[in-house]
Amino acid sequence: MAHTVIPDNTGDHLMQQAMVDLVITGTDRVTANGDVCNKIGAYLKALAAHDSGVPFYVALPSPTIDFLISDGVRKIPIEQRSADEVATMTGRTAEGKIATVRIVPDGSPVANYAFDVTPSWLVSGSIDRARRVARRSRGVGSGFSGVGRESWIEGQA
């Protein structure tokens, strides 16, 4: 598959310039209504895709579906990670030594959310492991043979 590696926030600009055909993101958790929880920034990519008319698909392995939650924006707890991930940087000094330095002022509070939730209305569809595509209107579990609410709850999905 032809592709180009870009810095994280360049995708928004490329979508705006009609240089992106579609977006495919992964998922850590998907709710019964199709809200998608993924690494922080996925929601902004979905907004940019929607605004630019670019389809936004989710690569959706069946174990990530949580049929017990219907509103991911309000019900999925979002992990906050260590402030040091944002407040410090490790690199090589001019003398060639490895050092960790603080890059924000002392005493500055840091919020480091690990995930965000993309509402289902921004998701064009999902792609399962067998490369089957389910459109948003069909529902999150519709494309998975043998996977239903009962098997998820019983842990057999």
pLDDT tens profile 72-111: 999 999 999 999 999 999 999 999 999 999 999 999 999 9
The residue-averaged pLDDT of 107-132 equals 90
Average pLDDT over residues 122-131: 84
DSSP 74-131: HHSPPPB--THHHHEEEEE-TTS-EEEEE-S-TT-----B-EEEE-GGG--EEE-TT-
Task: Return the pLDDT at 9.
Answer: 86
Residue 131 confidence (pLDDT)? 67
Is residue 56 very low, low, confident or very high in pLDDT (cuts 50, 70, 90)?
A: very high
- Active-site residue numbers? 28
pTM for this prediction: 0.78
In whole angstroms, give the CA distance from residue 37 to residue 100: 31
**Which tops the pLDDT comparison, 108 or 64?**
108
Pull the structure tokens for residue 73. 């924006």
Residue 21 carries which DSSP code? S
